[in-house]
Structure formats: C-alpha cells, structure tokens
Amino acid sequence: MSINDDKKYIWHPLTQHQLHPNNIVIKKAKGALLYDEDNNEYIDAIASWYTCMYGHCNPYITAMVSKQMQNLDHVVFTGFTHEPATKLAKSLIRILPKNQRKIFFSDNGSTSVDVAIKMALQFHYNKGSKRNKIIAFEDGFHGDTFGAMSVSGLSVYNGPFKDFSLDVERLPVPNDKNIDEVKKQFGALSSKGNVAAFVYEPLVQGAAAMKMHKPEHLNELLKIAKRNEIITVADEVMTGFGKTGKNFASEFMIQLPDIICLSKSLTGGLVPMAITSCSEEIYNAFLGPNMEKGFFHGHTYSANPTSCTAALASIELLNSEEIQKSIERIKQSHKTFISRIDKHPKVRKTRQQGIILAVDFNIETDRYGDLRYKLFDFYMSKGVYLRPLGNTVYILAPYIISNEQLAKIYVAIEQSLDII
C-alpha cells in the first residue's frame, strides 16, 4: 500500500501529526502476531488495546461470524429482536455478577459509559430525586465522548473541554496510606444527597498505566455509595472477560455494582460493540405507563447480529478449559518474571493483577515524553509490540500467547533496562 495515501488522507486518533507523521503499516495478524509490509513479526503484547484476547483472526470466531453475516446482517433493534442478541444476553447474564439482569447494547467503550451515566441520572430523575453530581477517581479513564470524558481524570485527553463537563467530583484512588481520608471524603460528598453515581475502573486503571488498588479498599467505598443510594458504575471495558484472573474484576468485591460497562475483548477484537448491563432495580425504575419514563437512548447499530455472534463465540472461548488454563499459566509465568526483575536497580516497582503485569522504571519522565518513543522503537526492533506510558511498561497479551512468546517479551523488557 502507499504510505503517502495515509499521510494525505488520514487523521489518526491520539496523534500529534506534526511530531509523529509516520505510522507502521500492518498487513496481517494471526494469533499473537502482527506482520508488517516486509513480513516482520511483532508479538502483540497488549492484544491491540486488550481486544483480541483469543488471538487475532481466531478461527472459531471468524467462522461463526462469517456464517451469521450470510443470514442476517443488520436490522433495527427497536421493535425487532433476533437470536444472536438473545443468546448473547443470556450467556452474559450467566457469567456476570449475580445482580446483573438486563443487557443494553451500544457501539464502543465510551458509549457504554455514557449510557451508564444517563441510566444513573435518569434513575434518580424518574424517582423524583434531584441528584446532579457524579463521583469518579482521579487518573481514571472512561472514554472520549462527552459523558465518558467528563468522568475521566486525565488532562491530556480532556483538558480543552473541562468547561463543558458534567458536574464531577474527583476522589483519590485509595491505598494503604490514604484509605481513611478517602473514605471520609467520599462520606462527606455523599451525605449531601446530591450524588447520582460513582463511576470507577475496578482494581486496575488501564490508561493510568495499569495503576492498581485493593479490592477491600474499593469495597469500603462501594459500601458508602450503597448506604447513600448512589448508583455504582463499574467500568469493566478493560478489566472484563478474565484479565484480572476472574471473569470480571467486580467479582473480587463483596459489594456488587448496579451497572457494568463492557467492550474491548467482548467481541474478541473482530468487530466493535459494547454492553451496559444493569440490575433489576435500575431497569424497573424506567417502567411506567407513560413514554417519558423510558430510556430514550439508541444507536443505529445497536445489537448488530454480526457483533453479537462475535461476542457469543468469544464468551464460549472464555469459558473453555483451554482458555481458563491459559489464564492460570500466564499468571504464574508473570509471577516468575516479576521475581526475576523486581530487585533490578532500574526497576522502581512491579505489580500484577491476573494476566496484567506492569513495570515502573526508576526514572522521571512525562506520559508522552521522549522515553516512551525510544522504548517503543526498541521493543519493535526486538519484535515485540508494547506501548509504554511515561515510565511504565505493561503486558496484557492474548490468552493464547505461547510460553516462548512470553519469554521473548520478558527478555525485551529486561534488555530495555540497559537503554534507560
């Protein structure tokens, strides 16, 4: 292909084109590997933003989807329904935390969060209670549409738009030192009676470079929310479907969320789709004899049958013994790697949750500082696709990655310590 046509016609996401005009052409992907135009191989150590967890072009998912798309491509999902959607909803409810009862469809992680926020705000509106504030964590990331951006805490994404935000109070992420203070702050905000929802990434904040917090701390905050009738929204767009070591990160807490957002690996990386699931209590608050009480939110491609089929096939794979064993294998493998590099003088900190592993280097740098580009180029030269953020590099590889491929990623990270 002509790279000039890319430069001439395309505006890439999250890119400063003046500083970074070049994009690498990827021609093919299979299993855990990406191939460029010259047939160089790269291990996809971040599963293309945590999507293709069952491997690129997974033969089971592609076969199921290809069959589906010859039978029913798309149909309006208001007034009509179809088997791919009902089958998917049923299989999701079976594996989601046990209070989740209804499945609402949209197109991407950001819209699944916007849907959740609108559900929470209208839940209170429908009950006649005036609640206009939302609580979210500092450093959280929930997407790039206006609602999702409002509850995100990273200024590089939402700085120019902060005057156009929903009314959001930001809470520090709890740790051993600040937990009492954070609880006090949450309690004080909650007691005013005007907080509609608490939106959070459970246990692992992906875009904050895999920042992690303890389930018992989050559970304390969820208890305060429950006590104050604040709708809890778990954004599991990144953490969902096995990455934390359980199907959903929310399963690590006793307090269950009222609403859960899902996308990314939902469809195994084949096609876009997102889900916002909710409890019976949320759903029931939208029932009534007049139309206005209903939830008037809908996307043209809601519950696209092809996407539903990709999701259904992905969940079958997730539930398989093979994938479950693989998750265990990767967890153990990461543990061994951590014990190998933890004491290295250039390693400040390591952390792991399930198959997610992060290494902080002992160096100060900006999130998009020069170091990350230097490291990125180094890893690519070693045949490994990693996306360092600031002084952190993390691994979130497809479940089907081999031990040899894992070893190659570890070696690349170890060798990169010599160039920082």
Residues engaged in binding ligand PLP (CB under 6 A): 108-110, 113, 141-143, 201, 206, 235, 237-238, 263
Nearer to ligand PLP, 89 or 117 (CB): 117
- Least separation in angstroms between residue 307's CB and ligand PLP is 13
SS3 275: strand
Contact 87, 308 (CB under 8 A): yes
Contact 295, 145 (CB under 8 A): no
Q: Which of 228, 202, 206 is nearest to 396 (CA)?
A: 206
Go through the chain and tell me how many residues it has: 420
- Least separation in angstroms between residue 79's CB and ligand PLP is 27
Nearer to ligand PLP, 108 or 150 (CB): 108
SS3 367: coil
Contact 177, 195 (CB under 8 A): no
- Least separation in angstroms between residue 147's CB and ligand PLP is 11
Nearer to ligand PLP, 157 or 376 (CB): 157
Nearer to ligand PLP, 142 or 213 (CB): 142
Q: Where are the alpha helices (DSSP H) in 73-108?
A: 83-95
Residue with tokens 């990709």: 310
CA dist 18 → 21, 47, 345, 365, 376 (Å): 6, 27, 36, 21, 19
Nearer to ligand PLP, 152 or 391 (CB): 152
- Least separation in angstroms between residue 81's CB and ligand PLP is 24
- Least separation in angstroms between residue 50's CB and ligand PLP is 7
Nearer to ligand PLP, 50 or 54 (CB): 50
Cα 218 to the chain's mean position, in Å?
A: 18
- Least separation in angstroms between residue 298's CB and ligand PLP is 17
Nearer to ligand PLP, 235 or 258 (CB): 235
- Least separation in angstroms between residue 214's CB and ligand PLP is 18
Pairing of strands 100-106, 195-200: unpaired
What string of DSSP letters covers 178-203? THHHHHHHHHHHHTTS-EEEEEE-SS
Contact 159, 316 (CB under 8 A): no
Pairing of strands 195-200, 133-137: parallel
Q: Give just the sign of the alpha carbon dihedral 13, 16, 17, 20.
A: negative
- Least separation in angstroms between residue 205's CB and ligand PLP is 8
Nearer to ligand PLP, 355 or 412 (CB): 355
Nearer to ligand PLP, 88 or 285 (CB): 88
- Least separation in angstroms between residue 204's CB and ligand PLP is 9
- Least separation in angstroms between residue 363's CB and ligand PLP is 25
- Least separation in angstroms between residue 302's CB and ligand PLP is 15
∠ CA(216), CA(219), CA(222), 5° rounding? Answer: 160
Nearer to ligand PLP, 44 or 201 (CB): 201
Q: Which residue(s) pair with 44 in the sheet?
A: 385
144: which 2 tokens?
A: 């790039």
Residue, CB closest to ligand PLP? 109
Q: Which residue(s) pair with 393 in the sheet?
A: 359
SS3 274: strand
Nearer to ligand PLP, 131 or 142 (CB): 142
| Whole-number Å distance between alpha carbons of 61 and 133 | 41
Q: Tell me which DSSP letter residue 230 carries.
A: P
Q: Which residue(s) pair with 350 in the sheet?
A: 359
SS3 348: strand
| Whole-number Å distance between alpha carbons of 398 and 178 | 34
